[in-house]
Amino acid sequence: MKRDYIKVNGLAVRCYEAGDGPPVLLVHGAGAQARLWRRLMGPMSSRFRVLAPDLPGFGGSDYCPDINKVRDFAGFLAGFLDAHGIGRASVVASSMGGWAASWFALDFPERVFKLVLISPAGLYSEEKPPMSVPQVISELREQYAKSALDIEGMNAGAEKELEKAVETINSMDARGGFAPDLAGRLGGIKAKTLIIWGSDDRVIPVSYADAFGDGIPGSTVSVMPGAGHLPYLDMPEEVFDLVAGFLEDADSKAEKGPSLLY
């Protein structure tokens, strides 16, 4: 897996890349960074060209004062693909990244081939609310102290990058950037979509899986028993099987080709 820094819309962005084949963009959440995809990137790189950036304000990427809300990340993702000479890609995205990827699919539909949303944010129910931003930050600190640091390569600079993420999250939240805004809009997503959720998700209850599934036309929902908010960490092999099978199904093979994917 290659690590590099590239310029995207004037920002220095740290990204990871591996493999050859149809491009797949991995988008992390607010409580993560690109390195957390390591367990998925390895097996996926045997079939795909996999690219995973640190979003602006996270990991090793510059902070961007122009990103005030989650929807603003959609423009960044378009610029990231441009920087790699990619016109269209499949997108696999988690939590806040799934929220951003939903907007990417809405605002740039011609650039998304297939969409995989893993425990995405962006909806709100008073009956079963997701964690608040302060709760997410508390959970983030706990995870960095435990499971995240068990992943190879996560120890170097982890504490500094944690504080950077907290600063970005708090700054966006202060500007209303985490107000859920996908209700009534999911029907506009045209990309074929797979939704993956952990049954034991404490951050965003699994009941939201049906809300996303009902909202996105023709989507498929897969609930993983025993998994938490980040199933790709809890059950990487199972998530890989689901994602690879979805991206490589018969419909995809019938449509593959340089004019469509690159």
Is the pLDDT score of 254 beyond 90? no
Residue 173: closest CA among 208, 142, 131: 131
pLDDT in tens, 209-227: 999 999 999 999 999 999 9
Is the pLDDT score of 231 beyond 60? yes
Residue 192's DSSP bridge partners are 114
Exposure letters 18-38 (e unless 16+ CB within 10 A, then b): bbeebbbbbbbbbbbbbbbbb
Q: Strand runs (DSSP E) across 54-102, as ranges?
A: 89-94
pLDDT in tens, 160-199: 888 899 999 999 999 999 999 999 999 999 999 999 999 9
pLDDT band at residue 144, thresholds of 50, 70 and 90?
A: low
Q: How far apart are CA 98 and CA 239, in angstroms?
A: 15
Residue 114's DSSP bridge partners are 192
Mean pLDDT of the chain: 90
> What is the mean pLDDT of the segment spanning 251-259?
38
pLDDT in tens, 1-60: 899 999 999 999 999 999 999 999 999 999 889 999 999 999 999 999 999 999 999 999
According to the model, what pLDDT value does residue 257 have? Answer: 36
Q: How far apart are CA 37 and CA 153, in angstroms?
A: 11
Q: How many beta carbons lie within 10 A of that of residue 86, not counting itself? A: 16
Altogether, the residues listed in the chain come to a count of 262
Alpha carbon of 118 to those of 17, 21, 159, 224: distances in Å?
20, 22, 25, 11
pLDDT in tens, 87-105: 999 999 999 999 999 999 9
Strands 11-18 and 2-8: antiparallel
Is the pLDDT score of 131 beyond 80? yes
Is the pLDDT score of 156 beyond 60? no
- 209: enclosing H helix or E strand: helix 207-215
Residue 24: closest CA among 251, 254, 259, 248: 248
According to the model, what pLDDT value does residue 1 have? Answer: 86
Is the pLDDT score of 126 beyond 60? yes
Q: Strand runs (DSSP E) across the chain, as ranges?
A: 2-8, 11-18, 23-27, 49-53, 89-94, 112-118, 192-198, 220-224
Is the pLDDT score of 252 beyond 70? no
Q: How many beta carbons lie within 10 A of that of residue 48, not counting itself? A: 23
Is the pLDDT score of 155 beyond 70? no
List, in order, residues 6 or more apart from 79 with CB less than 8 Å away: 8, 9
Is the pLDDT score of 246 beyond 70? yes
In the structure encoding, which two tokens stand for residue 233, read together? Answer: 């960490």
Cβ atoms of 165 and 133 closer than 8 Å: no
Please report, for the chain, the start and end positions of each structural domain, with discontinuous segments joined by +.
2-252
Q: pTM for the complete prediction?
A: 0.91
CATH no., domain 2-252: 3.40.50.1820
Is the pLDDT score of 148 beyond 60? no
According to the model, what pLDDT value does residue 3 have? Answer: 94
According to the model, what pLDDT value does residue 142 have? Answer: 76
According to the model, what pLDDT value does residue 85 have? Answer: 97
Q: How many beta carbons lie within 10 A of that of residue 57, not counting itself? A: 21
